[in-house]
Amino acid sequence: MTDSGTDAEIVTLSERAARRITEIVLSEDDTKILRIGVIGGGCSGFQYTFNLEKTTNDDDIVIVREGAMVAIDSESIRFLAGAEIDYVDELIGASFQIKNPNATAACGCGTSFSI
């Protein structure tokens, strides 16, 4: 596990995202971490996954901001290097969004991308 002072700096967490993660985990029993991953699939080739978990794994990169924790597995981190995790609340809905400089294309919903 890595903390916010080392390798985790390659992915950043916005203040809005940190606040929303804190709100979510406080409403869930025993959940402390938002896990973000990348899997094959979606309309653009890869898609982001978001899950609530109780613990981290030994090979996770962990980003901490204002008490909010995000875990990213060692396979997914290579697709997310330099990305910013944000939370937006717009007229069409509220969601976590990943601003990923590695993505060369993305689908309209923002959960699928290609490299």
Mean per-residue pLDDT pooled into runs of 10, the chain (115 residues): 50 95 89 90 78 93 93 92 90 84 64 53
pLDDT of residue 92: 77
> How far is residue 82's CA from residue 9's CA, in Å, rounded to a whole number?
8
Domain-wise residue ranges, the chain:
7-114
pTM of the model: 0.80
CATH homologous superfamily of 7-114 equals HesB-like domain (2.60.300.12)
pLDDT of residue 115: 57
